[in-house]
Amino acid sequence: MSDTPGKQQNTAAFYGQAVASFAVAMAATAIGIYRLSADAWVRAFLAIAVLYLVTSAFTLSKVIRDRQESAGAAPSYAPYEKR
């Protein structure tokens, strides 16, 4: 085993679960907004708010990742790392 830190790669199953979870959450939210008994402008406002929340969450996660990579920080969770 090497003591040099390597970049952790996610498994295909973890990636698939994350994508599926995101898709289910977005679909459930879209269906909930569509079936909401409110005026069309209220549903449109909620849909735009959800899209803004999703894009800002993606941006935040990218900024945090970039900051960690530029700082050379060791990963906080490394289950297979020998200590």
- % of the chain with per-residue pLDDT over 90: 59
pTM above 0.85, yes or no: no
Q: Does 1 have pLDDT greater than 60?
A: no
On the 0-12 / 13-18 / 19+ scale of CB atoms within 10 A, 20 is exposed
**Contact between residue 29 and residue 50 where contact means Cβ atoms under 8 Å apart:** yes
pLDDT in tens, 36-76: 999 999 999 999 999 999 999 999 999 998 888 888 755 56
